[in-house]
Amino acid sequence: MKKPFILVFIALLIGALVFILNPSSSYAKAPPFSGSTLNNKTLNNQNLENKVTLINFWFPSCPGCVSEMPKLIKMAHDYQGKDFQIIGIAVPIDPIESVQNYAQTRQLPFDVVFDGNKQIVSQFVKTEVYPTSVLINKRGEVLKTFVGEPNFQELYQEVNQELTK
């Protein structure tokens, strides 16, 4: 009689430990996407695995985008060699040549995809306000969306917190 009780107790204990040590997340997975960078490298959801990622939607003639770009460049340099990346998604407000010129003259230290048909932006963003950025954790889950320039001090804190997980 005691043996079945002990087995049930052990099974419940193991189940509880699995739940505690591997809690389910309440965040939504990043939507599927695929695009080619300005350097002809393919980017997709697999590039999000095991890295905290900031996806930034922008275009060169956007005043807010231009204003935040030096901060994004600094952030990319600050986290170089860590499990963090920035991916720039250029929305097709400006022609691809303008995006290429902007990225080249400023030597952007992160991959840039020209989203010519807005397939990527439509998956991630439900607004036409730019810049917009999406922070994704190492499990590929969307943590937060920033419409307009984020508070970079808070963004750094969130990235640092995610990097410790």
> For the segment 71-112, what is each residue's pLDDT rounded down to a tens digit?
999 999 999 999 999 999 999 999 999 999 999 999 999 999
Q: Against a cut of 0.85, is the pTM above it? A: no
> For the segment 41-67, what is each residue's pLDDT rounded down to a tens digit?
999 999 999 999 999 999 999 999 999
According to the CATH classification, is domain 26-163 in 3.40.30.10?
Answer: yes
Q: Tell me the H-state helices in 58-144.
A: 63-78, 96-105, 119-124
Sorted by where each begins, the domain ranges of the chain are 26-163
